[in-house]
Chains A and B, each alone.
Chain A
Amino acid sequence: MNAKVDLTETNRVKDAAPAINVSPSPHIGSTSNSTRRMMIDVLIALTPAVAMAIYMFRVYALIHLGLCVATCLAAEYLFVRMRGKSISLNDFSAAVTGVILALSMPATAPWYASVIASAVAIGLGKIIFGGLGMNIFNPAMVGRAFVMISFAGAMGAAAYESGAGWVDAISQATPMNALKQAGALTPIGDMFLGLTNGSLGETSALACLLGGLYLCYRRTASWEIPAGMIATVLVITGIVDLVGGHGGRLILHHLFGGALLFGAFFIATDPVSSPLTPRGKAIFGIGIGALVMLLRFLSGYPEGVMFAVLLMNAVTPLINRWTIPRTFGEY
């Protein structure tokens, strides 16, 4: 009797045996957490900015978004195939690069600028280093910098002002250019909501804040980076504002006009090209903020976020080395 019971018991476990797998600990993992989920988070966070871009720049926004995303995906597919690696489109990282790149373009930039920028972003910005996670520089900014230097005329101030009359905003100067060229201050409310000219996704401070706070809440973006950037800009413009007697408007202008918030939340926070430790991230953010102010005040360009991010990307490996945390129990 007993023996028989035992046998069936053993058989039952044997039946289950093929499904039993063995692997080293830990055996559980955080379920809401994957690279893909992080990229989807970024796409979700970008929706307010995308919506605002489409509202403000209509077909121009659609054209650049379409071109950038399509080219990024195609380039990723092509280059990854060339390197003989398995296709990585489903991690959505190429799509994220496409959307961020499109949102950093001026509305009336020539179509080929978007295409070339995207191909360069993926090819030179990412795949050449070995793909996702291996790149040193923010891919979107590599692409953006490439076309900005190659087609300086078509991508400069002119691209922001040559627009067709039926999209009102495009015929104005961007807030940062107006400030730089004429010392003119754009109404703060317009800049906050995004009713001004500028790169497609950067005009609405509100949209950037909404998406950015979501990203920080999800911990997909490390809050130390935008906090460091914004705090630095506040301090520097605060001093200049006080000295120049602008009554606070210069601070808000530098904060809400231009690409500062878009850059702080969506570009600088790219995990791959930013430092690893909280302290490193804060240093990185402060560095970008300081460079942005340096470029805005002293360079020939009205804006400085793109170059500031690229410069700090270059320093990231060093920051990582400087900020090795003190191990528990190490004196």
Chain B
Amino acid sequence: MELLQSKDLPGKGSFSHGIHPPDNKSLSRDAAIEVVPTPKRVVLPLLQNIGVPSKSIVQPKKQVVAGEAIGVGEAFISTNLHSPINGVVENTGVCTLPNGRHLPAIYIKAEGEQLSGQALYEDVLGGPWPKDCPAIYYPSTISKAIHEAGIVGLGGAAFPTHVKVRPDDTKMIDTLMINGCECEPYLTNDYRVMLEAPGAIIAGALHGARAVSAREIIIGVEDNKPAAIERLKKEAEGTVIKIAVLKTKYPQGSEKQLIKAVLGLEVPLGGLPSDVGVAMSNVGTMAAIARGVIREKPLTHRVITVTGRGVSNPKNLLVPIGLSMQDAIDYCGGLTKDAARIIAGGPMMGFAFSNLSMPVTKGTSGITVLTHDDVRKENETSCVRCGRCVDVCPMQLVPTKLAMASRHGNLSLAHQYNIMACFECGCCTYVCPAHIKLVQLIRMGKAMVVASRK
């Protein structure tokens, strides 16, 4: 029956190549979302989206209430920022993010009564999510509300959502494609949202589709999440939304691969989903849109997974943005003795970091802590030209050639082999028997190409 549902879609439910890493989702899959207690302090970096930082509009000592704007995104690709708690601005300082960027940030100390526990859960994810009201809004009203609410893509890339759902006369959008694949191993935050708040996702999807004037709405979910598929289907009954069941495979959730798997379309090299009439976002973002538009509440909280064998009690958490990684890990019982690597996000594309004072941002999908046994070995030997990296690259590149071209600074060779098409999924590095850091080399090569263009 599930397959029937995807049969009326043109895609084949999968893309070519890719890998099947052990998903390790059972560590946290069955842990219902818990609300962490309001922390004593939150740290809100002014850049929480791809693009331009927001501008601070508060001064130290200023009282703020939960949901109040403290930063505005003035540039086109920028977002607003809101305080997740009631409190006082302590100071505006600097903080470092897992990807190594130093950023100005607003520090807010909690003060007074706080919305917490079940009440907070109800406010963010719970309650009824009316499905019939998109028609009462103009598309522009919806995208304006999304802009106001400071919503970015919650899948990890953190691209400002209002830019994606902006009605655009030059590029017609037929389909709103919603990513519920969660193909990164370990992470289960999207899964839990699909299970616990399918109503918010469906309502968000209907509003999002109205904003871009899309006729079709498809939610893609991997077949290792049958319970989520059931919940979404039930919730979507009577709407135009279709659920596409996809093969479990990494990186099924990559936007180009997902469009290929569901719609059978190939986004042109160097192009965007909108080039084939698709707007793409993930399920968590839909829930944020529903809250932003229907309840007029900004994005101040998100669901993250804290998991891995390096964490005592893996959990899914509803956290205020700005919570420190340390607080999140402590809430899950702390690190275990053999914890070896702490990653913001999942183990395939996440950033490793060691400074636990860093905050959870809008783009943080989770924290994965690996033990020494889990971590990839890095004793590099020579490439034996086995071609395994070629066999798995979802972009159908020749990773070994790209890596060697980067290593030797041969930009014309890198160009010939389409180095810029690599989206750094890591499949090639995952399979390489010689343990060559292919992605790292390719990343370096891409940087050289970009530099040479200037």
Show the binding face of A for B, using Cβ within 8 Å.
Answer: 9-10, 12-13, 16-17, 19-30, 33-35, 37-38, 91, 130-134, 219, 222, 271-278, 281, 324-331
Contact = CB atoms under 8 A, between A and B. Distances in A.
Given A29-B435, A330-B418, A21 B387 contact: no
B64 to A, nearest CB: 23
Contacts of A25: 343, 347-352, 424, 426, 439
Contacts, number: 183
B22 to A, nearest CB: 8
Contact of B374 (A28, A327, A328): A28
Interface string B326-366: 10011000110111111100011111111010000000000
Nearest to A329: B269
Contacts of B417: 324
Contacts of A271: 384-387
Given A30-B430, A133-B434, A219-B388, A13 B382 contact: no
Contacts of A38: 384, 386, 433
5 shortest A-B CB distances, which residue pairs? A26-B426, A29-B376, A133-B382, A271-B386, A329-B269
A328 B396 contact: yes
A33 B398 CA distance: 19
Contacts of A272: 384-385
B396 A327 contact: yes
B431 A27 contact: no
Contacts of A28: 21, 185, 347-348, 370, 374-376, 430
A23 B341 contact: yes
12 contacts: A9-B330, A19-B339, A21-B352, A26-B349, A27-B341, A27-B347, A30-B430, A35-B433, A133-B384, A329-B256, A329-B395, A331-B269
Contacts of B382: 35, 130-134
Nearest to B336: A16
B172 interface: no
B268 to A, nearest CB: 5
A328 B395 contact: yes
B277 to A, nearest CB: 15
B421 interface: yes
Contact of A329 (B267, B329, B375, B390): B267
Contacts of A12: 334-335
Contacts of B412: none
A22 B390 contact: no
Nearest to B308: A27
Interface residues of B, number: 74
A25 B347 CA distance: 7
Contacts of B256: 328-329
A134 B417 CA distance: 20
B223 interface: no
- Of A20, A38, A222, chain B has the most CB atoms within 10 Å of the CB of A20
B399 to A, nearest CB: 10
B440 interface: yes
Interface centre among B269, B270, B424 (most CB of A within 10 A): B269
A328 B352 contact: no
Contacts of B401: 276
B435 A34 contact: yes
A276 B398 contact: yes
The majority secondary structure among interface residues of chain A is loop
A22 B353 contact: yes
Contacts of B350: 25, 27
B429 interface: yes
A86 to B, nearest CB: 10
A21 B378 CA distance: 12
A328 B351 contact: no
Nearest to B327: A9
A330 B269 CA distance: 5
A16 B394 CA distance: 37
B380 to A, nearest CB: 10
Contacts of A278: 387, 390-391
B157 interface: no
B400 interface: yes
Given A26-B347, A328-B269, A35 B391 contact: no
A13 B347 CA distance: 21
A97 to B, nearest CB: 13
B437 interface: yes
A142 B418 CA distance: 35
B18 to A, nearest CB: 11
Nearest to A134: B382
Most buried by A among B19, B256, B348, B434: B434
Given A25-B439, A28-B348, A13 B356 contact: yes
A24 B433 contact: no
Nearest to B345: A25
Nearest to B431: A30
B334 A33 contact: no
A289 to B, nearest CB: 20
A35 B431 CA distance: 11
Contact of B381 (A23, A35, A276, A327): A35
B398 A331 contact: no
A89 to B, nearest CB: 13
B356 A27 contact: no
A12 B256 CA distance: 43
B267 to A, nearest CB: 5
A274 B440 CA distance: 26
Contacts of A23: 341, 352, 375, 378
A26 B427 CA distance: 8
A330 B267 CA distance: 9
A185 to B, nearest CB: 38
A16 B337 contact: yes
Contacts of B432: 29, 33
A22 B266 CA distance: 35
Contacts of A329: 256, 266-271, 395, 421
B352 A16 contact: no
A26 B429 contact: yes
B385 A324 contact: no
B119 interface: no
A147 B432 CA distance: 35
Contacts of A134: 382
A298 to B, nearest CB: 31
Which of B267, B270, B381, B431 has the largest count of A CB atoms less than 10 A from its CB?
B381
